[in-house]
Amino acid sequence: MKIGSILENQKLEKRISITPEIVKKYLSLGFEVFLSENYGSHIGINDEQYKNLGVKILQNETEILKSVDILVQLGMLSDEKTSIMRENQTIIGVLNPYYNKEKLENLAKKKINLFSLEMLPRITRAQSMDILSSQANLAGYKAVIESFANFEKAIPMMMTAAGTVPAAKVLIVGAGVAGLQAIATAKRMGAIVFATDVRMASKEQVESLGGKFLTVEGSENLETEGGYAKEASDDFKKKQEELLSETLKKIDIVICTALIPGKKAPVIIKDTMIGNMQAGSIIYDLAAIQGGNTAFTEVDNIVNKNGVKIMGESNILNKLPVSASSLYAKNVFNFVDNLFDKKNKKININLEDEIIEKTLIK
């Protein structure tokens, strides 16, 4: 069995799917590993490191695309590259079936097996494969670092002979994996942290990290069976708006992380709310790529509204590619390990396995 990966479009994606540490694990399963030339050079991993482990480095990407049984990537490949692939090959990655529906349907008709890892079920057995959690964890951390770097005041309270500098007040919108890491990071750096989420189960987690949970009066628990947030009712949205509008008047930094899988991000921070914020405040919107949680978010641009900076990037993890690649590669290996029939040395698409059934694009 042959497994491989080619270099992503560097303008969009700096993470890689197979690290030297993970090569050893694939080899121990009996795989041959194929990578394109200079696969990890942009993050400090040269071809010799891979070759010394037994990886076959090829100059020609076409040869890899034609020959491997399993191709592991991050983003969806271009039409030109997928056209090279043949029947019964397998692609594993973040295939974004909501946006690439037609392209994936055409590949499935070609009898290429497609597994999209963001569709993993939130079950205990899938935790080691959960790319959303591993990557969101880093994104939450980095969003705090980026927003603090653009904030022109000190973060912790400082008592000096010249007077006291008050601690920065931070609001985290959405207390999922990214939000909880953002809370922990902001607290460690000395900020006063508030958080809000539509899932009532988040209250205990927020408070355990030292944050203050903002509760919408008479709120319902808006959580799906799979552990994701679902869309709020109009009544909830109105009450949430009133609470946020008042809270934002005293907040210095807002980290937005609210996403609904497969849908446009909900607009939570409205233009009137931003008008009430203090000049010099920062909003970092992690939901930018799905439309953003604010009325003015622009991807890869800092928007200034009444002195409030609104930031959002297409891929914040491009600023942490080494750490993000390490975690992603481990997630992917654990998925392949579950998919691989070690006795017969072949892929076993067992649709009775919830992990396989939920991630397979049919």
Residue 161's SS3 state is: coil
Tell me the Cα Rg of the chain. 22
What length is written for the chain?
362
Q: How many CB atoms lie within 10 A of CB 61?
A: 16
Q: Where are the alpha helices (DSSP H) in the chain?
A: 20-29, 47-53, 61-67, 79-82, 101-109, 131-150, 177-188, 202-208, 234-247, 271-276, 321-339, 354-359
Scored b (16 or more CB within 10 A) or e, 144-173 reads bbbbbeebeeebeeeeeeeeeeebbbbbbb
Structure-token pair, residue 14? 């700096």
**17, 133, 202, 281: which is the annotated catalytic residue?**
133
**78, 83, 127, 233: which is the annotated catalytic residue?**
127
DSSP string, 8-75: --TTT----S--HHHHHHHHHHT-EEEEETTSSGGGT--HHHHHHHT-EEES-HHHHHHH-SEEE-SS
**5, 17, 116, 130: which is the annotated catalytic residue?**
130
**122, 245, 278, 337: which is the annotated catalytic residue?**
122
Q: Is residue 197 annotated as part of the catalytic site, yes or no?
A: no
Q: Could you give the CA distance from residue 362 to residue 357 in angstroms, rounded to a whole number?
A: 9
250: left (phi over 0), alpha (psi -120 to 50) or beta: alpha
Q: Could you give the CA distance from residue 310 to residue 358 in angstroms, rounded to a whole number?
A: 36
Those residues with Cβ within 8 angstroms of residue 191's Cβ, 6 or more apart along the chain or in another chain = 155, 156, 167, 168, 169, 170, 253
**47, 49, 128, 228: which is the annotated catalytic residue?**
228
Q: Is residue 127 annotated as part of the catalytic site, yes or no?
A: yes
Q: Could you give the CA distance from residue 155 to residue 253 in angstroms, rounded to a whole number?
A: 10
Helix axes 321-339, 20-29, angle to 10 degrees: 10
Q: Is residue 235 annotated as part of the catalytic site, yes or no?
A: no
Q: Which of 282, 260, 280 is nearest to 269 (CA)?
A: 282
Q: How many CB atoms lie within 10 A of CB 235?
A: 12
Would you name the residues annotated as active-site residues?
122, 127, 130, 133, 228
